Structure 1
Amino acid sequence: MPITDAVKRLLVGRPVRSDKLGETLLPKRIALPVFASDALSSVAYAPDEILLTLAIAGTGAYLLSPWVALAVVLVLVVVVSSYRQNVHAYPSGGGDYEVVTTNLGRTGGVTVGAALLCDYTLTVAVSVSSGAQYAAAALPFLNGHEVLLAVGLVVVLTTLNLRGVRESGSAFAIPTYVFMAAIGAMAVVGGVRWALGELPAAESAGLGLVAEPGYEAGLTGLGGALLLARAFSSGCAALTGVEAISNGVPAFRKPKSQNAATTLALLGGISIVMLFAIILLARATHVQFAEDPATQLIRDGAPVGDSYVQDPVIGQIAQSVFAGFAPAFFVVTAATGVILVLAANTAFNGFPVLASILARDGFLPRQLHTRGDRLAFSNGIIALAAVAVVLIVSFDAQVTRLIQLYVVGVFISFTMSQTGMVKHWTRLLAGETDPRERTRMRRSRVINGVGVAMTGSVLVIVLITKFTHGAWITLLGMAVLFVVMRAIRKHYDRVAEEMAVESTPAAKVLPSRVHAIVLVSKVHRPTLRALAYARVSRPSVLEALTVDVDPEETADLQRRWNELDLPVPLKALESPYREITRPIVQYVRDLRRESPRDLLVVYIPEYVVGHWWEQVLHNQTALRLKGRLLFTPGVVVASVPFQLSSSEGAEDRWRGPAAGSVRQGAVARRPAGRPDSPTPHDGGDR
């Protein structure tokens, strides 16, 4: 086995048969960490973003943080309830894309598809970058290397997901449950210590917080209202990942829809408890959290300076709650850092499935539609990882910069999906006569209607408050992706139209004649083999063709041809400028022009070399010639291989692509060298 295949099998595992797909389906206990890790991990940074934004108006603005969290929770409840309707009505895995396409049309579906693809990509970039920052906070030697660490984490996640959904889910289940248990324990212990009056203040509690210019009076006037709205929109990052479950319904065990709906309810309940617990404990421990701590935080009347290291909110709370018991603190911070990285796993499960559906519908390259060796959508996983790495490097793994691009796409999909569901229930009500079913449908429509109102309002707030802070980049990316997807679909439609089999007699007409041409550079065994194959095909006309680059060599070739008494005429094309490709192409086109209903078959003798270094000894005239002839209508190029002695045993070294990889667009590896061709006057053949 070649070393590359051995490494692949070590990292990814052995191929899995297609009929084993049912064994990869997930029970709820594994589906929860697989599809909900993104939303659960949002608890780790959504409170940070709320406090970070409110800090602009000074410490007094923190009094409103519980109310901002309450508003976020209300939206979360409505969205979870709405998506429970989605998974029952559209369980095929298309999620928002299917809902919108079915009810609002193809243009709306492509818009939602573009929004979700952007959001999934940002999920990976934000989650991994946040995890890298947590790691740097816990391990000071990683400071300044966050980008490299984040890229390495993406590579690890990619490798695990290439092994399959079930394998990656099993690997990520334990850390996710440890995170939930750690936050739960912190909430219980912190609540008890606060009730007993024994909860220590956070390490930043003794620092002052200076309001930015214009907010010295707190959250007053229009500016205060906009800042409050911005804090709310940042906190709504806690809703990201909810839609992933609706895309992943096919991955659940039966009953799929019921299990997906139950997982959604569990996700919503756990997220609400965690968000409130962290916000309330942050208030109880008087956490101070600023976007620019070096200048905004004050100690003894002076800024703390660049030497001050600001730990994340959860880290500060855990240090206070578990004061005197360091192991618990380290468990909380470590679990938080791990879950932030694993949150990207939600995108690694949602993005490939959605990309596969879009590819099936012709809006993305077909290679994204097929499963890989381990029954995962490998090409989609790799594409997601590549784009996420570009974002991480471009934004220097800074969460505060990436978070501004976040949320926009997911709330566009939320709003359009709920609008589609309202239309869905309205359409079903028009034909339903059962009173009980009509009552159920009206109730569902009300839930989705409230969802439209709330998510639409949040979307407007997000666009107003985040547009100039980076959201325009996301909108631009969505627009570009929308145009590209429509162009891909247009291309596939045009190709399908050209390749369609017509029922008219004209489509069944055979060519009037077959005109075969064998290209000759020398009279040698490859040429004679090509000539034999051409004769066996019994064409109407058969001729040999060479190019007169050197008159002496051409005369010698014709003499040798006549000596062997070959039963095929040899024609020499003049080439005063010593070109080879142009005269042949022109000759073929002239024949096509004279007899447009004839089929022209050009036979090119090829010899196969066995070593890579032999390739440099031969020119690539044949490749250029093939490339030119491929664009000539009515012409077929036939390659006739001739294996040289150096290629002996190469077939034993050949290892073809694994099952499915060709369909995914993988390039087959050549054994040690690739076929080269002795075209007319190929310099390497002389």
Structure 2
Amino acid sequence: MGVGDVSKRILLGRKLRSAQLGETLLPKRIALPVFASDALSSVAYAPDEVFIMLSLAGASYYVWSWKIAIAVAIVMAAVIASYRQTVHAYPSGGGDYEVAQVNLGKTAGTTVASALLVDYILTVAVSISSAAQYAASAVGWLQGHEALFASAMVLLLTASNLRGIRESGSFFAWPTYAFMFAILGMCLFGFFQLVAGTLPDVESADLVISPAPEYEGAVTTLGLLFLLARAFSSGCAALTGVEAISNGVPAFKRPKSRNAATTLLLLGMIAITMMVSIIVLAKKMGLRYVDPREFDRMTYFDGAPLPEDYDQHAVIAQIARAVFLDFSPGFYFVVTVTGIILVLAANTAFNGFPVLGSILAKDGYAPRALGSRGDRLAYSNGILFLAGMAIVLIIAFDAEVTKLIQLYIVGVFISFNLSQLGMIKHWTRELTTERDPDRRGKIYRSRVINAVGLSFTSVVLVVVLITKFLAGAWITILAMLFFFAVMRAIKGHYDKVQLELAADEDDKVLPTRVHAVVLVSKIHKPTLRALAFAKASRPNVLEGIYVATDPVETNRLIDAWDERNLGVPLKVLHSPYRELVRPILQYVAEIRKSNPRGVVAVYIPEYVVGRWWEQLLHNQTALRLKGRLLFSPGVMVTSVPYQLRSSEIAREREEREDFRVRPGDLRRGQVDERRDPGRRG
């Protein structure tokens, strides 16, 4: 095993057989933190965005915060109920994409796919950027380097997910459960203090917020409605990540659909409880919170401006500091696990994006490389692509959540709407064939649930488009259009290639003759082996060709060729400019021109080496020549390998590795197979 293989095994772990796919499936206790961390973590920034929007008209409008929280909770409950129907009807993991593709057509399916791809990329960028902001507020030397820190976190998540979904899920489970415990415990303790009349104020309660210029003076009814719509659309960021479970059903243990539906229910109950509790507590504790770029609108009660180095802590951090005023470990525990969960929230996308990419690859809408599983049975190429795109966004927006959040949730609500519409059509089609009264009753109920979900998500989508379009949502729409166009182009290419490669009657016609040429550099074992192999193929014409660049070497080769009497004519191609590839290409083209219905078979002797650096010293001309000949019609290229001693050493090393007993092999019954290859199979 080479240095590269050793490093890969240390990073990713041992290889897994395809038959071990069942070992990677998740029980509900692991699936909940794996697929729900995104939606759960949204309580770390969705309340912040609600208060930022309401602060535009002044702190007095925070009175609407709990009502907005209830509205968001109702929408989330409707979406959760709708997706519970989806995981039962479409358990293959296609989620929204499959629902739209099957029921609404290819255009709708591609639209949903492009929306989800953009949403997954933004999920990673927003979550990791938010975590970087938390880290920078706690660790001073990170300030100004948030983008670099966020990029490093993305790389860490990438390495973890390349090890496999079960391994990453087990590793990330405890921080997610710790986050649930911390937030719910903090809220419970806060409400206990509220009932007892001892609930303290947060650190920002003594500040005053001046309205933004557009909201100075009396706010009109239309202005109030637009303000509430903006706050509601920002709060709906809490719904992102809900769809990940419908895309990850194949990763659940059996019964897959029921386990996925149960996990969805748990997710909804926990996320709604945490979000509503945080917003209510923040309002009761006198929170004042504005856009970090607008600190000039916030002053002390006496009118004194805030210091230039004022650090506005996040909503959860302010609540935790006040609630656990006499118990600092509680505050640090809440802040720490919140920062961790924001990093892990991106893990939801790392599980959903590769699965969706593999389905798109299977359907021909994405490169087939996205459908290939890696050594650890994870869709490695999809994971790497997601990481690369997220890092580009983080660097482009300097890891600023306020900028990135404006791009958020547009894509996911487009997929929500098309998915619900597709499910309504699905249930309507089911009713045309179903005759069992009990089953028809369940179908009617499911259709009503999806109809309610569609009505809610449609309203949210309209609100989001109106309030966020000019603020940055147009970038998301452009990105969706880009992915849509790319996927349709890829599909068109694959369809065209498939049509072009389809066998017909003309393919049965044999070539009129085969003209074989063997490339000769000198007379040695690789050349003789290539000549012998070419003779065995019985071509109509066989000759060796040599490119002459040095008269002395050329004469020496001709003498040696005649002396051996190989029975094969040698064609010498003179190259006055010392080119090697061009004379061969020209000669092959002349043969093809003289006999268009014939085939030219080019045999190239190649060295097989065992070390990577040896490959740099050999076969370079052969590689260039093969690359050029591939574009020549009617030319067949055959590499005739000759194994050098170093290749045998590499093979022996691999065989020793195959027979080495690894931890767990005895338990899996694989020891005897390695020691006795004849018993395999």
- What TM-score do the two structures reach when normalised by structure 2? 0.92
Query: Does structure 1 retain, via aligned residues, the 8 Å contact 2:611–2:650?
Result: no
Query: Does structure 1 retain, via aligned residues, the 8 Å contact 2:607–2:619?
Result: no
Letter in 2 for 1:250: P
Structure 2 counterpart of 1:397, from 382, 396, 399: 399
Aligned to 1:339: 341
**1:319-372 deviation line (CA, Å, top 9, x unaligned):** 111111111111111121111111111111111111111111111111211222
Query: Does structure 2 retain, via aligned residues, the 8 Å contact 1:30–1:173?
Result: yes
> Is the alpha carbon distance of 1:33 and 1:646 closer, same or farther for their aligned partners in structure 2, counting shifts above 3 Å?
closer
Letter in 2 for 1:405: L
Aligned to 1:479: 481
Task: Give matches, 1:178-577, under 5 Å.
Answer: 178-217=178-217, 219-291=219-291, 292=293, 294-299=295-300, 300-502=302-504, 504=505, 506-550=506-550, 553-575=553-575, 577=577
User: SS at the partner of 2:212?
Assistant: coil
> Is the alpha carbon distance of 1:460 and 1:348 closer, same or farther for their aligned partners in structure 2, counting shifts above 3 Å?
same
Letter in 1 for 2:584: I
Whole-Å separation in 2 of the counterparts to 1:613 and 1:424: 58
How far apart are 1:189 and its partner, in Å?
Answer: 1.2
Query: Does structure 2 retain, via aligned residues, the 8 Å contact 1:60–1:218?
Result: no
Q: Structure 2: where are the runs of 5+ without partners?
A: 659-681
> Is the alpha carbon distance of 1:426 and 1:389 closer, same or farther for their aligned partners in structure 2, counting shifts above 3 Å?
same
Letter in 1 for 2:98: E
Whole-Å separation in 1 of the counterparts to 2:461 and 2:413: 6
Whole-Å separation in 2 of the counterparts to 1:310 and 1:198: 24
Query: Does structure 1 retain, via aligned residues, the 8 Å contact 2:31–2:263?
Result: yes
Q: Identity across aligned pairs (percent)? A: 62
Whole-Å separation in 2 of the counterparts to 1:52 and 1:118: 25
Whole-Å separation in 1 of the counterparts to 2:501 and 2:109: 27
Letter in 2 for 1:392: I
Whole-Å separation in 1 of the counterparts to 2:393 and 2:357: 19
Q: Structure 1: where are the runs of 5+ without partners?
A: 659-686
How large is the RMSD of aligned CA atoms in angstroms? 2.3
Task: Give matches, 1:87-106, under 5 Å.
Answer: 87-106=87-106
**1:539-598 deviation line (CA, Å, top 9, x unaligned):** 121112223445565445434322332311122335455543333222212222222332
**1:609-656 deviation line (CA, Å, top 9, x unaligned):** 677777777794333322221111121112233455676735446699
Whole-Å separation in 2 of the counterparts to 1:128 and 1:399: 9
Whole-Å separation in 2 of the counterparts to 1:376 and 1:619: 34
Letter in 1 for 2:517: I
User: SS at the partner of 1:516?
Assistant: strand
How far apart are 1:532 and its partner, in Å?
Answer: 2.2
User: SS at the partner of 1:214?
Assistant: helix
**1:446-489 deviation line (CA, Å, top 9, x unaligned):** 22112222111211111111111111111111111111111112
User: SS at the partner of 2:243?
Assistant: helix
With 538-547 and 124-133 compared, the bigger mean Cα shift is at 538-547
> Is the alpha carbon distance of 1:648 and 1:195 closer, same or farther for their aligned partners in structure 2, counting shifts above 3 Å?
closer
- What TM-score do the two structures reach when normalised by structure 1? 0.91
Whole-Å separation in 2 of the counterparts to 1:267 and 1:60: 32
Whole-Å separation in 1 of the counterparts to 2:418 and 2:197: 48
Query: Does structure 2 retain, via aligned residues, the 8 Å contact 1:219–1:227?
Result: no
User: SS at the partner of 2:365?
Assistant: coil
> Is the alpha carbon distance of 1:610 and 1:273 closer, same or farther for their aligned partners in structure 2, counting shifts above 3 Å?
closer
> Is the alpha carbon distance of 1:307 and 1:491 closer, same or farther for their aligned partners in structure 2, counting shifts above 3 Å?
same
> Is the alpha carbon distance of 1:312 and 1:510 closer, same or farther for their aligned partners in structure 2, counting shifts above 3 Å?
same
> Is the alpha carbon distance of 1:243 and 1:577 closer, same or farther for their aligned partners in structure 2, counting shifts above 3 Å?
same
Letter in 2 for 1:472: W
> Is the alpha carbon distance of 1:234 and 1:591 closer, same or farther for their aligned partners in structure 2, counting shifts above 3 Å?
same
User: SS at the partner of 1:573?
Assistant: strand
Whole-Å separation in 2 of the counterparts to 1:655 and 1:469: 60
Whole-Å separation in 2 of the counterparts to 1:412 and 1:318: 35
Query: Does structure 1 retain, via aligned residues, the 8 Å contact 2:135–2:339?
Result: yes
User: SS at the partner of 2:479?
Assistant: helix
Task: Give matches, 1:145-160, under 5 Å.
Answer: 145-160=145-160
With 534-543 and 410-419 compared, the bigger mean Cα shift is at 534-543
With 296-305 and 227-236 compared, the bigger mean Cα shift is at 296-305
Aligned to 2:42: 42
Whole-Å separation in 2 of the counterparts to 1:44 and 1:468: 25
**1:20-76 deviation line (CA, Å, top 9, x unaligned):** 222222221211111111111111110000001111111111111111111111111
With 415-424 and 426-435 compared, the bigger mean Cα shift is at 426-435
Task: Give matches, 1:615-630, under 5 Å.
Answer: 620-630=620-630
